[in-house]
Structure 1
């Protein structure tokens, strides 16, 4: 369970983000994942995706929003306009949540980046997953809880899976993409098939595709998920930073979302 966090306050001093990974969701939404252009062909028409210095993914893609500067009250005002009433969103990184917002959940995450010792290689047994595989993906995600995965998350990048007797038992893929960097995400293995190195093979295979286009892989994990962090470090990833994640909603609305 995520540790409760205290994010009350009138706002922190403006924070600059000299590196895109410091505010990765914004760097993706302001770059390669700028909406709606990068999501054409996903089915459906996303609602407003950006107002001023606030942006968000469609809720059925990824339920994070982002602020150009999380310390800027004007960016929070733009987010309020963007999400409207009755909508809860996740934000990271966050130091303080300004007045007028309710914190309904939160926790701490870690960001890891691939080092030179991270070895990539194809996984011949892995198959490319597509929209027709989404029901199976959602079933695997529900059983393994690797983090948020929605009906159209698969459109964000390449997702690979491994099957056993026709059943999807492991997967990993690409989520956030920003200039020079791609996030490896949704790493999960069916409990009955753990200990066979499936996650390792998939991480290396997804990483191979990331590096082929000149990007550097990175990952996110809940700070308390020690087994996942140990796995990533053993493969050649290094913890870069820790950050606070908040689930927030405007006053008078309902609906809670989790921390990661």
Structure 2
């Protein structure tokens, strides 16, 4: 099975911010983060309390970030608190999975549609997609033929050389059951293969419906990691 290399993927936010997304990185010492308007993700280069102290310098009192690879670092000593932790699965689309024919009606989305994109994703996973998340990669949507309303979307979030995370896949509740999310996922997969890029994604381990769907589509689970929601004390 094709793998997601541990050196890149155990601290995937750091990898993205040190490579493809370096233009978006806000850094202090051993800590780095995305701008709050882009994504609620941050990373530390080493799992130490000192590195967490550097991260604390990048946060305002009223915000939170998600981070992984904390190791034995002590958030309390850095004036931070782990508000909650979740297990997420990293999954990969193997190259032998056959892709279905293209679906007509999928159109590119740019940041001029950011408000619509945020509104749609807030129904499924509020707080993760923000007004500048559209700058992280390429996004695509399906619109209602009657109103031109954005009814389904998906795109790329955490990206670095050779790998692009599929993310933001969602459909408005009034239009579910039509296979739109799968059509968008395959659209992304075709683009990635044409560019020699590996498609991968994150899914919450407890979301059995989503996990089973991705397995049915041919994705394979590589590993489980823990994400921590950090807030300022």
Give yes or no for the alignment of 1:129 onto 2:117: no
Q: Aligned to 1:19, what secondary structure does the other structure show?
A: helix
Distance, in Å, in 2 between the alignment partners of 1:136 and 1:26 is: 29
2:221 to 231, 234, 239: 239
Identify the residue that residue 57 of structure 1 maps to in structure 2.
34
Q: TM-score, normalised by structure 2?
A: 0.87
Q: Aligned to 1:59, what secondary structure does the other structure show?
A: coil
Which stretches of structure 1, 4 residues or longer, exceed 4 Å deviation after superposition? none
Identify the residue that residue 176 of structure 2 maps to in structure 1.
194
Identify the residue that residue 13 of structure 2 maps to in structure 1.
25
Unaligned runs of 5+ in 1: 1-16, 37-47, 252-260
1:132 Cα shift?
Answer: 1.9
Give yes or no for the alignment of 1:138 onto 2:114: no
Q: Aligned to 1:207, what secondary structure does the other structure show?
A: helix
Whether the aligned pair in 2 keeps the contact of 1:20 and 1:178 (CA below 8 Å) is no
Distance, in Å, in 2 between the alignment partners of 1:185 and 1:62 is: 12
Identify the residue that residue 172 of structure 1 maps to in structure 2.
154
CA-based RMSD of the aligned residues comes to 2.0
Q: Aligned to 2:105, what secondary structure does the other structure show?
A: coil
Number of aligned residues:
223
Distance, in Å, in 2 between the alignment partners of 1:84 and 1:137 is: 25
Distance, in Å, in 2 between the alignment partners of 1:88 and 1:148 is: 11
Q: Deviations over 1:161-200 (max 9, x none)?
A: 0112211111110000112111000010112222221111
Whether the aligned pair in 2 keeps the contact of 1:146 and 1:188 (CA below 8 Å) is no
Q: TM-score, normalised by structure 1?
A: 0.79
Q: 1:84 to 1:169 in 2, by over 3 A?
A: closer
Unaligned runs of 5+ in 2: none
1:85 Cα shift?
Answer: 4.5
Identify the residue that residue 118 of structure 1 maps to in structure 2.
97
